[in-house]
Amino acid sequence: MKFLILALCVAAALATSPDLDQEWQMWKDNNQRKYEVEEEDYRRFVWEYNYKIVTEHNQRYALGHTTYTMAMNQFADMTNVEFRKRMNGFVSAIAPLETTQSRIDVSPLPDFVDWNSKGWVTPVKNQGQCGSAWAFSATGALEGQTFNKTGKLPEISEQNLVDCATAPKYDCAGCNGGTMLGAFQYVIDNMGIDSESSYPYQAQDMKCRFNAANVVATEKTYVVLPSGDEKALQRAVATVGPISAAIAASHVTFQLYQSGIYDEPQCSQTALAHNVLIIGYAIENGNPYWLVKNSWGADWGMNGFVRMSRSKDNQCGIATRACYPLV
Ligand SMILES: *[C@@H]1O[C@H](CO)[C@@H](O)[C@H](O)[C@H]1NC(C)=O
């Protein structure tokens, strides 16, 4: 009913274009969408609204006015408000930022770092309709450090964190959001975390079913990087491995990001409601960027990855809450 009313409202304002019928059909087929009759018109309207945004943005890209492209990806039938509700964990207001000041180190850093090419990064995962990005960010950092320690790259269970690293002790609320620090502290206290295969991801809050027999990684402590310091973050990425970070990811430009260096001047440095894994950095055509692993499946962005602007005034707050575990 809600959709019917909305559809009627928007139908009056803007009739959908018949030219796009075929593309709409193809997009629905490719993304396995089947709507109720009353929802179809509304979704088509939202999709077409996004289609215009993407088309206009990519025209600017073709003219060299922006560094990244957008695509009609799996989020293309969602309004930006729906997207924010569905994809992001909560904006964490808890856990005052503690800063573990790193030693003053001015030794030169490499221009390019990519831990994925060195075997430190597992394949891109998909958090589904669950605000558990914090768990994916945490397992990603743990996977890398465990690889360095053992020579074997483990797949670590996010569901273990979603179910067990819960409030009040760990500041986490499963699919309603959480923090990497809560996850790291849980793994320390718990003396380990289970493997992905023994404790597979279910994208919903379940009862804690940790089994010590299936532990695949342990952790000694964690480090919090100085907030907002992209130089310190660069040093950590270069010398430690993949680093966990919170980012602002609420703009439609991120929702429908496809490739290139994401650059959103409106992006907040403090309203951080998504969590990712920084797996390297580089420079392209003079533009420095962070190489970032997301948890929205391999269909989103560059095979699941995004290049985020680097040294652009801590854009999207990528250096605001960065941290990593020590194993
Ligand atoms: C990997 O582990 C070794 C041995 O503990 C350590 O010396 C080295 O700094 C680690 N490498 C990185 C990039 O963290």
Q: What is the pLDDT of residues 260-309, one digit of tens each?
A: 999 999 999 998 999 999 999 999 999 999 999 999 999 999 999 999 99
Q: pLDDT of 126-170, one tens digit each? A: 999 999 999 999 999 999 999 999 999 999 999 999 999 998 899
Tokens of 187: 């793994």
Per-residue buried b or exposed e for 103-134, using 16+ beta carbons within 10 Å of the residue's own CB: eeeeeeeeeebebbeeebbbebbbbbebbbbb
% of the chain surpassing 90 pLDDT: 84
Q: Is the confidence at residue 10, as pLDDT, over 60?
A: no
Q: What is the pLDDT of residue 153?
A: 98
Question: Residues 70-96: what's their mean pLDDT?
Answer: 78
Which atom of ligand 1 is the closest one to the Cα of 239? 13
Beta strands, E only, 133-271: 193-194, 215-217, 221-224, 243-247, 257-262
* CA–CA dist 39, 35 (Å, integer): 6
CA distances from 162 to 72, 136, 158, 180, 228 (A): 30, 10, 6, 11, 27
The residue ranking higher by pLDDT, 99 or 324, is 324
Say if pTM beats, i.e. exceeds, 0.85: yes
Question: Residues 216-244: what's their mean pLDDT?
Answer: 97
Q: Residue whose CA is closest, atom 6 of ligand 1?
A: 148
Which atom of ligand 1 is the closest one to the Cα of 240? 14
CB 116 within 8 A of CB 280: yes
Which atom of ligand 1 is the closest one to the Cα of 149? 2
pLDDT bracket for residue 86 (50, 70, 90): confident
% of the chain surpassing 70 pLDDT: 90
CA end-to-end span of the chain? 53
| Span from the CA of 149 to the centroid of ligand 1 (angstroms) | 7
Q: Spell out the SS3 assignment of 279-319.
A: EEEEEECCEEEEEEECCECCCCCECCEEEEECCCCCHHHCC
Q: Residue whose CA is closest, atom 14 of ligand 1?
A: 240
Q: Tell me the best of 116, 120, 121, 148 to mutate to test the pocket of ligand 1, counting ligand atoms within 8 Å of each CB and taking the most.
A: 148
DSSP 8-state symbol, 226: P
Q: What is the pLDDT of residue 235?
A: 97
Q: pLDDT of 234-254, one tens digit each? A: 999 999 999 999 999 999 999
* CA–CA dist 4, 99 (Å, integer): 51
Q: What is the pLDDT of residue 106?
A: 77
Residue owning tokens 């994208």? 203
| Span from the CA of 148 to the centroid of ligand 1 (angstroms) | 6
Which atom of ligand 1 is the closest one to the Cα of 148? 1
Residues within 6 Å of ligand 1 by CB? 148, 239-241
Which atom of ligand 1 is the closest one to the Cα of 241? 13
User: Which 3 state secondary structure label does DSSP give 185?
Assistant: helix
* CA–CA dist 88, 175 (Å, integer): 10
| Span from the CA of 183 to the centroid of ligand 1 (angstroms) | 22
Q: What is the pLDDT of residue 97?
A: 45
| Span from the CA of 76 to the centroid of ligand 1 (angstroms) | 42
Backbone angles phi, psi at 287, to 5 degrees: -100, 115
Q: Which residues contact 93 (CB under 8 A, 6 or more apart)?
A: none
pLDDT bracket for residue 12 (50, 70, 90): very low
CA distances from 261 to 63, 250, 258 (A): 15, 17, 10
| Span from the CA of 150 to the centroid of ligand 1 (angstroms) | 11
Q: Which of 81-95, 99-113, 117-131, 189-203 has the lowest mean pLDDT?
A: 81-95
| Span from the CA of 241 to the centroid of ligand 1 (angstroms) | 9
| Span from the CA of 143 to the centroid of ligand 1 (angstroms) | 14
| Span from the CA of 281 to the centroid of ligand 1 (angstroms) | 19
